[in-house]
Amino acid sequence: MNYQQDERIILTLDAGGTNFVFSAMRGLKEIVAPISQPAYADDLDKCLSSIINGFTKVKSLVSPKPSAISFAFPGPADYPSGIIGDLGNLPAFKGGVPLGPIIEDKFNIPVFINNDGNLFAYGEAIAGFLLLVNNALSKNKFARRYKNLLGITLGTGLGAGIVISNELLVGDNSNGAEIWLMRNKINSSQNVEETVSIRGLKKLYLDNCSYNHEIAPEPEQIYQIALGEFPGDREAAIDAFNKFGEAAGDAIAQAITLVDGLIVVGGGISGAYSLFINSLIKEMTGKYLLNTGDEINRLDIKVYNWEDEKKRNEFLSFNPSEINLNKSGSTILYYKEKKSAIGLSKLGTSKAIAVGAYAFAVNELNKNKL
């Protein structure tokens, strides 16, 4: 659908552990300046009042009346019911709080809540990476189009979202795309987030570091150390990003066998994409050893780095063959090559989440004819 032409207004919220930032969108564009409210992470009454006050302020700035409220909020949660569970950075919600119904009752409009990984993937599917790739295929006059997307966020934790033919996968238990719980290739007794995260990258660096740091460097500093632009153990920094990419590539390879689509990467650590992408793709395009001693490709699809111009052009170089349908000479195109591309967020992580929240609400309103 053409979201840019939709006139409905959706109120949004960017929920952090310290501050809540409220805004409003129409036609995939933010239409008011963001308004910040304190989170009051330890006090439920103050926290709820802050959320209601934030939406009230934004609502007063838009006309006509907003059609819905849609935003990302940390889990665990029952997202379809709007119930938020025990949160580490927002302890006020311990025991379960019906946040969605509370807000819906206050404003008398539908309220939709998802996690940030889901909405990041949805935003990139609607107006980001998926659209970019399909436009490039169209420009090159290929009939092939991609409909599925795996979104990965690399930051404090490892997040993910899955979009299948314009539908966001939430899951029966609001637990779809929980990639962070996959087994960790670097340490099989751990989940992969213990390596593919800020804390994981810092540990990878310190484990092999010969430089005496007073405190563990942040990912941006480890990135600069790897480039030789900041004091530290450059070899350990490069190795940390390689292992980070290896662990991420293993998890993404497992996930993409089920999704079979494109892959987009966002989050703070994605800024170091150039340092981990080679080891990530190497892991995804590795081999399995059969009992016979023979090797097979780990994936049936070939994965290309979209950010590398040469690899991008290879991805876009489809060579379909014409298959005869009958004796009359009718033919059909056969795309024998199985390909996927991995690339960086084209909207930016925060904007992709906001776009995803907006688009999700519009689609739900359409389904319910609201």
Between CA 134 and CA 123 the distance in angstroms is: 15
State residue 319's pLDDT score. Answer: 80
Q: Which secondary structure element, helix H or strand E, spans residue 349, and what is its range? A: helix 349-367
Is pLDDT of 114 > 90?
yes
Both 214 and 260 in one domain: the answer is yes
Across 108-112, 143-147, 277-281, least confident range? 143-147
Both 73 and 198 in one domain: the answer is no
Last residue of a domain, one of 115, 141, 174: 115
Domain that holds residue 332: 129-346
In a domain, 366, yes or no: no
Helices 234-259, 198-207: inter-axial angle, 10-degree rounding: 140
Both 104 and 165 in one domain: the answer is no
Is pLDDT of 91 > 90?
no
State residue 130's pLDDT score. Answer: 98
Question: Which are the contacts of 339, defined by CB distance < 8 A and separation ≥ 6?
Answer: 301, 302, 303, 304, 315, 318
In a domain, 301, yes or no: yes
Between CA 359 and CA 126 the distance in angstroms is: 7
State residue 75's pLDDT score. Answer: 83
**Residue (of 180, 220, 207) closest to 196 by Cα position:** 180
Whether 63 and 40 have beta carbons less than 8 Å apart is answered as no
State residue 87's pLDDT score. Answer: 80
Q: Give the β-pairing of 262-266 and 339-344.
A: parallel
Question: Which are the contacts of 258, defined by CB distance < 8 A and separation ≥ 6?
Answer: none
SS3 percent helix, strand, coil of the chain, rounded to 5, is 40, 20, 40
Between CA 147 and CA 133 the distance in angstroms is: 11
State residue 269's pLDDT score. Answer: 97
Look up residue 76 and give its DSSP letter. Answer: S
Last residue of a domain, one of 115, 142, 163: 115
In a domain, 276, yes or no: yes
Q: What average pLDDT does the segment 104-124 reach?
A: 96
Q: What average pLDDT does the segment 302-307 reach?
A: 97
Q: What average pLDDT does the segment 146-154 reach?
A: 97
Q: What average pLDDT does the segment 65-86 reach?
A: 92
| Per-residue pLDDT reduced to its tens digit, 179-214 | 999 999 999 999 999 999 999 999 999 999 999 998
In a domain, 48, yes or no: yes
Both 96 and 139 in one domain: the answer is no
Is pLDDT of 327 > 80?
no
State residue 78's pLDDT score. Answer: 93
State residue 18's pLDDT score. Answer: 80
Is pLDDT of 147 > 80?
yes
Both 212 and 187 in one domain: the answer is yes
Both 192 and 95 in one domain: the answer is no
CB-based burial of residue 64 (10 Å sphere; 0-12 exposed, 13-18 middle, 19+ buried)? Answer: exposed
**Where does 27-175 show beta strands of DSSP type E?**
29-30, 35-38, 68-72, 77-78, 83-84, 111-114, 148-154, 158-164, 167-168
**b/e map 329-366, b = 16+ CB within 10 Å:** eeeeeeeeeebbbbbbbbbebbbbbbbbbbbbbbbebe
In a domain, 359, yes or no: no
Between CA 75 and CA 316 the distance in angstroms is: 38
Q: How many domains does the chain have?
A: 2
Q: Which secondary structure element, helix H or strand E, spans residue 360, and what is its range? A: helix 349-367
Between CA 349 and CA 357 the distance in angstroms is: 12
Both 150 and 291 in one domain: the answer is yes
Q: What average pLDDT does the segment 130-146 reach?
A: 92
Percent of the chain predicted with pLDDT > 70: 100
In a domain, 15, yes or no: yes
Both 295 and 172 in one domain: the answer is yes
State residue 80's pLDDT score. Answer: 92
| Per-residue pLDDT reduced to its tens digit, 48-60 | 999 999 999 999 9
In a domain, 215, yes or no: yes
pLDDT confidence tier of residue 1, bands split at 50, 70 and 90: confident
Both 149 and 80 in one domain: the answer is no
Whether 79 and 357 have beta carbons less than 8 Å apart is answered as no
Question: Which are the contacts of 279, defined by CB distance < 8 A and separation ≥ 6?
Answer: 241, 242, 243, 244, 245, 246, 249
Both 85 and 217 in one domain: the answer is no
Question: Which are the contacts of 178, defined by CB distance < 8 A and separation ≥ 6?
Answer: 160
Between CA 262 and CA 306 the distance in angstroms is: 10
In a domain, 164, yes or no: yes
Both 45 and 133 in one domain: the answer is no
Is pLDDT of 82 > 80?
yes
* Domain harbouring 225, CATH code: 3.30.420.40
pLDDT confidence tier of residue 26, bands split at 50, 70 and 90: very high
**Residue (of 32, 23, 28, 34) closest to 7 by Cα position:** 28
Both 70 and 149 in one domain: the answer is no
